[in-house]
Amino acid sequence: MENKFYLIDRRGTTSLATTLLVLLVLLLVSSSLFYFTIYSNNTSKKISNSLEISKVYERQKIVDFYIQDILDKSSEGIKSDEELVSEFKRQLNFYKNPSGGFLVEELSQVESQLDNLKLIKENGIPKSSEFEIEIIIKKSFKENEENKFNIEYNYDKKFIANV
């Protein structure tokens, strides 16, 4: 009885379908590799741009942390708006370096917006403090000599702390 399922027949040759399959697979692999080498440069540019944007969001979280921390510390035991503003300024000065600049440069925008700092009272008793603020975060980066990008991120946020 003769087995009909040989890949190679008795004469030592392969079938035409097998040869075509191998050639088409080689063509597909080589064209895929060519495509990926040509267009991989564009992908790396997109990744570097998104990394820069994520750095802006990280910066926002840092600024939010410091503002909330300052508001929490300055709201303890406060009885009037004036007292809250002066304590907030005092706490804000802790984040200045010896040369007069802020450790986090965006905190310099806070000083000009202290009019938005309010003490919320219920029945004449201080309950919480609110601070609505607009922060602008700017980031510039250079991809190469021709491409320079500037990111400007504006956001408004309301910070609340219990008294």
Domain regions of the chain by residue span: 57-162
State the pLDDT confidence band at 6, using cuts at 50, 70 and 90.
Answer: low
Q: What does pTM read for this prediction?
A: 0.67
Is the CB of residue 19 less than 8 Å from the CB of residue 117?
Answer: no
Share of the chain above pLDDT 90, in %: 29
| 109/125 Cα distance (integer angstroms) | 30
Is the CB of residue 43 less than 8 Å from the CB of residue 35?
Answer: no
| 151/53 Cα distance (integer angstroms) | 8
| pLDDT on residue 162 | 85
State the pLDDT confidence band at 62, using cuts at 50, 70 and 90.
Answer: very high
| pLDDT on residue 38 | 80
Residue 63 above 90 pLDDT? yes
